[in-house]
Amino acid sequence: MSNRVFVTGLGAITPVGLNLADTWESLIAGKSGIDTITSFDAENYKTQIAAEVTDFDPAEYLEKKQVRRLDRFVQFAVGAALQAVDHANLKINSDNSTRIGVMIASGIGGIITISNQIEVLTVKGPNRVSPFFVPMMLPDMASGQVSMTIGARGPSIATVSACASGADSIGAAFNQLQTDDLDIIIAGGTEASICPIGIAGFNACHALSTQNDDPKKASRPFDAQRDGFVCGEGAAVLVLETLSSLTKRSVEPLAEMVGYAASADAYHVTQPAPGGEGGARAMKSALKRADMYPDEVDYINAHGTSTPLNDKYETLAMKAVFDEHAYKVPISSTKSMTGHLLGASGALEAMVSVEAIRHNAVPPTINLENPDPECDLDYTPNKARRISINSVVTNSFGFGGHNSSLVFKGVDL
C-alpha cells in the first residue's frame, strides 16, 4: 500500500512578496509584480519589462561569504526552503536527517553567473575567471545548497524539464515518498534569469511580450491581445511529508497531494502540440492516479503563459479532459501577476493551489479585458472569487514538450 503524502510547509520569494503570506495576499488582491527592468539597462532590447524580486536581502538567510559564492537562483532557493522548513515546524538533526530529502528544480540555473563570467573571460582573460564559476552556475546547486544549509542527508536531486521543472520536482518527491522509506522531502523550484543574455535569448525566439509601455498590463493570459510571456524570477518550496511522519511529529497538514503525471508532446522544441494533446494526457493521468473524476475538481490553476498558442491549446486540453465541467470550473493564471518564473513556476503554482484550498479562494487572471473567442472558459477575470475548494489541478508545460499536472485536495484524516 502506498504512503499518503501531505504538504506541511510552504515558502516563497516572488515578484509579489518575499514570503508566503505577502505573496498570497498580493495574488488575491490582483497585484502585479511586473515593471520596467531595473537589474540592467534594457533600453535597446525588444522587451524592457520583467517581474523582478525587489528588496530581497540574501544575507537574511546566508552568511555574507556564502552570498558572494552563490548565484541568485540559489539564494532564492535557500530563502524559500528555510521559510518552508520553519512553516512546517521541522527540526532536522542526526536522528532524522537521513530520512529527509531535497528536490529543488531550476530550468536554467546560474545564467547570471555564466553571463558575468564570460564577460570576465573576454575582458580580463582566463586566469581571472572565478574559482566558484562552475558550482555557481550548475542547476543542481540549489538542491545541493539547500541540503547543506538545513542538514538534510537524504536524496538531493534537481529535475530539469524547462518550465515544468518545479512541478516535476514536486511530482518526483511525491513518487518517492509514496513508495520509499523516506519521511520528508523539501521540494520546489527556483529561477533567476532576468539578465541581458536571458532576455535577449527569449526575445530571439519571439517568446516574450513587447508591451513595454504598460508593464503591469503586459501579461494577459487568455486575452485576445496577449503577445508573449513576461519573464519572472523567484522560488517556491513545499515540505512534503508522509502521514506516519506528520502523525509522529503531531503536525497539522495544509493539504494532501493525491496525483501527479507527466507526458511528452514529442512535437516541437517550443510549440505545444496542436490541440494540447500532451497536456490533456497529463491531466487525465494525474486525475486517474488521484482516483478522481474530472467533475470533482473545484479549481484549475492553468499554466496560462499569455502566449498565443499555449493559452489556446491549454484551453482545448481542458475541454478534452473536463468536457462540460470545463465551462463550470473556475480557472486562473497567476502568471498574469507574477510573470513566468520558468523552472520555478510549477512550484509557485503548486503553492498557490494549496493556499486556494486553505483559504477557499480563487486568485484572478488580471488583464483579461478582451476575451479571445478561442479561449471561452471561466478564467476568473480580474477579481478573486470566494468559493468552497477541496480539490485543485495545476498544470505546467515546458519547452521541449514537457507536460506535468499535479492534484491537491483538502485534508481528510
CA dihedral (329, 330, 334, 335) positive or negative: positive
Among residues 87, 195, 231, 303, the one annotated as catalytic is 303
How far apart are the C-alpha atoms of 20 and 359, rounded to whole Å?
13
Residue with cell 532524522: 96
Phi then psi for residue 402, to 5 deg, are -80, 135
Among residues 163, 195, 231, 375, the one annotated as catalytic is 163
87 is catalytic: no
Among residues 231, 340, 375, 402, the one annotated as catalytic is 340
How far apart are the C-alpha atoms of 107 and 100, rounded to whole Å?
23
How far apart are the C-alpha atoms of 4 and 166, rounded to whole Å?
21
Q: Where are the beta strands (DSSP E) in 76-194?
A: 100-105, 156-157, 184-191
340 is catalytic: yes
Return the bridge partners of 12, or none.
236
Return the bridge partners of 186, or none.
102, 239
Helix or strand holding residue 305 (H, E) = none
CB burial string 205-220: b at 16+ within 10 A, e below: eebbbebeeebbbbbb
Tell me if 224 sits within 8 A of 212, measured CB to CB. no
How far apart are the C-alpha atoms of 275 and 270, rounded to whole Å?
15
375 is catalytic: no
CA geometry: angle at 28 spanning 32 and 376, to 5°? 80
Cell of 227: 503577445
CA geometry: angle at 124 spanning 123 and 128, to 5°? 135
What does the H/E/C string look like for 218-264?
CCCCCECCCCCECEECEEEEEEEEEHHHHHHHCCCCCEEEEEEEEEE
3-state helix, strand, coil in the chain (%, to 5): 40, 20, 40
Active-site amino acid positions: 163, 303, 340
